[in-house]
Chain A
Amino acid sequence: MSRFKPVMGVSEGITLLFIFISAKVFLAHVTFILHDGMNASWVIPIINTLIGLLGVLLLVAVLNGHPGKDLVEIGEELAGPYINTLFSLFYLAVFVIGAGFTLRFVSERVVAGFLPDTPISMVTLSFLVGTVTVAYLGLEAVSRTARFLVVVLVVSTLALVVLTIPFWQGHVFYPLLGAGVWDVLRGALTTTGNYVQILLLGIIYPFLPQGKARLVGVWGVLIAGFFFTILVVVPLLIFTFPTVTEMSLPTFEMSRIINIGRFGQRMEVVFLPIWVFSNMIFMAVSLYAGAAVLARLFKLGDYRPFVLAVTVFTTVMAYMPLNSPQASYWNHDYLSRYSFYVLVLIMLILLLAARLKGKGGAKNEKGV
């Protein structure tokens, strides 16, 4: 059954990866970049993308040595069950923490912006029902849903950008390097965790067409980088520094200022699908990937028993912060800062172990 051995095309793989990496750009993550980079914030996503590309190439190097196996299975083979358990817990933490804080933040924002009289538990439940259903249906369902809805996301995002052109102010780029080269570089190096989600490639690798992992990874990171850069630059162009750093949801503020004649006001509802769909895809991927990691860890053939368990972890994680700003800060502190370096370290350990054991390292993309 394809439920146990899903089939995924290159296009779906790229879509899934770039949405999983860049969904956070519609939330508060941009604000942290704007804080760090000031007028030169647009440089940070570019540097981050380049670092993300290096990370993907490293990951693909590990994966290509073991065709047909995902990162957890490779870790088990190369590092042994005990060390691999630590690695797997890290992967699980990335998925669960990311999904949990996203769930909390987006729920709070929906309550604040769209459903002020609705209890947050109801909103959270709505998100969970949708994401758990699709995650339970499997990777094919998640990836195809993402591929089907990406048209809505991309068109809405580009419309959001284009409709704000009248509000752009060119002088915001100056001073060109903000507080200085080192500050910008420091800002970039401390937000590399925005690309820790490339980890997904290690989970979906066995289901991708053979020899296409690098293509999927590189394009996934590049497209995500494009949206990261666009959605850092445009709020900066509209609201200018430092006003833009005071916004918890810059994309929402962008949608609010759009004004198309007498009837074209209060357009934020038109862009609601951006926040809802992007974050639901993010959470569905997280739930599936978390369940898949647990299934591999416990050596079970089916991921489905763990979907509900990961959902419980995620919900608990969502309600740990006191409020939405705290959820954003925690997410930034625990995921967006240094987690990418931990992932790189794991990859290096695995590559080293492969070299020492004489397994995999020298194989090419097709595993030959």
Chain B
Amino acid sequence: MFSWLKTLSKFIMYQKPQPAPSVFESGIEDRPLEEGEKSKAKSKAKSKAKSKSKAKSKSKSKSKAGGNGGSDTDSNDSGQGNQDQHQLRDSEQNNRKNGSRKRNSRRGKPRNAAIQKKYSDKVAENQDIDQILNQKVELSYRLEENKQVLEKLFRVPENKDAVFRSLSIGTEPPAQAMLVFIDGITNAQVQNLAVLQPLMLLSGARDIRQNRKGDTPAEAGVFLQGQECPRLGPGNGENKETAVYKDFFDRVKQAVLPNNQVAEGRTYDQVVYDVLNGNSALFIEGYNQALLLETKGWHFRSVSPPQVEAVIRGPQEAFTEMLRVNTSLVRKIIHRSSLVTEFIKVGYNAPMQCAVMYVADLANPDLVKEVKRRLESIRADQTYETGLAEQMIEDNPLHMVPQVLTTERPDRVAASLLDGKVAVLMDGNPFVMIMPCTFFNLMQSPEDAYVRWPFGAFMRLIRYAGLFLALLLPAHYVAIVAYHQEFIPTDLLMAITGAREKVPFPSIVEVLIMEAAFELIREAGVRIPGTIGTTLGIVGALILGQAAVAANIVSPILIIVVAVTALGSFAIPNYSFSLSIRLLRFVYILFASLSGLLGILVGVFIHVGVMSTVKSFGVPFLAPAAPVTRKGRDYFMRGPVWQQETRPDYLDPLKTKRQPQFSRGWLNDGDDKGGAER
């Protein structure tokens, strides 16, 4: 009669936990112990008899209560549908009981041994595949075998991106072939018109097989399916007829395929890398090589104005996500045969293509070598962004300042290359790294050079003032309000004191509140969708500031201080450097609150001392000021362009002279010819 009441009370009092069924469960803290750790734990347990007996009694009581486990027999969870899944999960939980909150961090032992054991077949398969790639296994003569291996490498049929297009080359008799590519990153039109059509329809017209006397199909190395390849027969490992077979392969390459770039691949590693980069691989039956055809065709953003380094006067082009477009943007500016672009694979698990650009007759070879050495040595899992690569190659990763200059402007890269620096472009990335980088580089903008020199120098001066304000103004406010009230004129002191009279907080708290609020607004402004970004700015900057003053949480003077500080930080042209200044500002505020102006000066002393030890690819960060090297007219202030006769000598370029002493030839009689006519 009251069964419903019983049910209701049971429902209210206790509900058996019914977690959503999931095959996959993970918890880092609950990783099971390794064998070594288990035995270690056992020996520890033996030495503590009392604690052992307590632990036993606890585990028994748990098993009796039918909890989540404690022994192997407790793995059933009655009433649940998917028996297998729960058995799997319970056995996982049993394992976890043993190693709860103990991590296996011993060197040389994998942390996820239990997972590896569970999926041993998958792990073994992955290891096989890695072996094929790492050991650079050569391609097979048999088309079918190549297909099987590549299907394994690309995880076909699960992976639907990889396409294996079988075709017959239109010869008599037809030769079997296969085109491998990744759908979506190739240009289908190029494939149809420049690969498939010539092979299938036009190859017969060229009669590519009959040019050489005695080229029968068998001799030419074309074997129909099921026929035995003579080179692969037992005891016949060597290819005695390479010349003949090579001839057909070369003819396909040279006479049939009208692609602008064709390369030959001999290993699976080469083929996989090219295919993953948008190329197509053509395999022909009987040949242990593949033709790697240029068919890249993914969608990319067109060249657009710079988003971060905007200028009023100067080129309005920025890099895109296409590596080749980016290199062309640089080459468009530097018409010099010595401009070299080298390609390097960077990264370990998902290597990215990087272009290292330098002017061979200017850049110091040791610098180029060092940049390439560092890039090639990267063994990171992810290096698809310049920011990730930057962190892997910088000299002092623990220092706050950026040691690589990042820019999105081709003109800036070109100017740096002509100074003797090295640029690293990364595929899929609109930012380019320039190295080495000094403090003064971080404070320069391309526009300094494009306007007349007094204005360029003035803008740079303003920028240094901005740096000073962004770094030290809030700290000075704290120091003066808290320690050095007598150092400001009486009228101003009265104004500040009157404004702060109703503020209940000490100056340090007041400043930290406003600075933190401003950083919050700035961070939110970056993350927020563009349409409401302006609204947030108005809400944050105006209403919040106004309300804070009205509520007597902060003084109106502080609002001015924070606003000027923000303007100063926006004047810093390099984003990474601006970030470091934003962070260091809080350190200076702390110093100021501890010792006033003395604290700030001590902070500056330490800051300069630490910066003076930083190096960027062997170049001191404060060069050419400290250490002193020969200074041009473009390091602190911007000098006239006709007086900038030498390249920065801290780069040790191969050519120091940038232009002759009298670079304006028209000023001298009879010397009025430009570079092209000389």
Contact = CB atoms under 8 A, between A and B. Distances in A.
A273 interface: yes
A241 B169 CA distance: 108
Interface string B598-631: 1101110110111011000000101001111100
B626 A147 contact: yes
Contacts of A110: 598
Contacts of A115: 483, 595-596, 598
Contacts of B606: 129-130, 133-134
Interface in B473-502: 483-484, 486-489, 492
Nearest to A12: B627
Interface centre among B598, B613, B622, B629 (most CB of A within 10 A): B598
A47 interface: no
A149 B601 CA distance: 11
B341 to A, nearest CB: 33
A54 interface: no
Given A12-B626, A140-B612, A144-B626, A280 B602 contact: yes
B597 A147 contact: no
B325 interface: no
Given A7-B627, A12-B627, A122-B595, A127 B483 contact: no
Interface string A259-286: 0001101101100110011001000100
Contact of B625 (A123, A134, A148, A268): A148
B626 A148 contact: yes
Interface string A1-44: 00000011101100000000000000000000000000000000
Interface string A103-119: 00000001000110110
Interface centre among A131, A148, A276 (most CB of B within 10 A): A148
A11 B628 contact: yes
A276 B612 contact: no
B595 A269 contact: no
Given A266-B486, A266-B487, A147 B605 contact: no
B594 interface: yes
A148 B622 contact: yes
B608 A148 contact: yes
B622 A144 contact: yes
Interface residues of B, number: 30
Given A11-B628, A12-B628, A126-B595, A149 B608 contact: yes
Contacts of B603: 130
Contact of B602 (A130, A140, A148): A130
Contact of A142 (B487, B492, B609): B609
A114 B484 contact: yes
Interface centre among A12, A131, A140, A268 (most CB of B within 10 A): A140
B602 A145 contact: no
A137 interface: yes
Contacts of A143: 626-627
Contacts of B487: 266, 268-269
B582 to A, nearest CB: 22
A126 B627 contact: no
A280 B605 contact: yes
A277 B605 contact: yes
B608 A276 contact: no
Interface centre among A8, A110, A122, A145 (most CB of B within 10 A): A145
A126 B626 contact: no
B605 A134 contact: yes
A123 B610 CA distance: 21
B340 to A, nearest CB: 30
A9 B620 CA distance: 13
Contacts of A130: 602-603, 605-606, 609
Nearest to A151: B625
B489 A114 contact: no
17 contacts: A117-B483, A118-B596, A129-B606, A134-B605, A134-B606, A137-B612, A144-B608, A144-B622, A144-B626, A144-B627, A145-B626, A263-B492, A265-B489, A266-B487, A269-B484, A272-B598, A276-B602
The 9 closest A-B pairs by CB, nearest first: A144-B612, A134-B609, A144-B626, A11-B628, A269-B487, A130-B602, A147-B626, A148-B626, A276-B601
Interface of B: 483-484, 486-489, 492, 594-599, 601-603, 605-606, 608-610, 612-613, 620, 622, 625-629
Given A114-B596, A115-B596, A141-B612, 9 more contacts: A11-B627, A12-B626, A130-B605, A131-B605, A141-B613, A144-B608, A145-B609, A272-B598, A276-B601
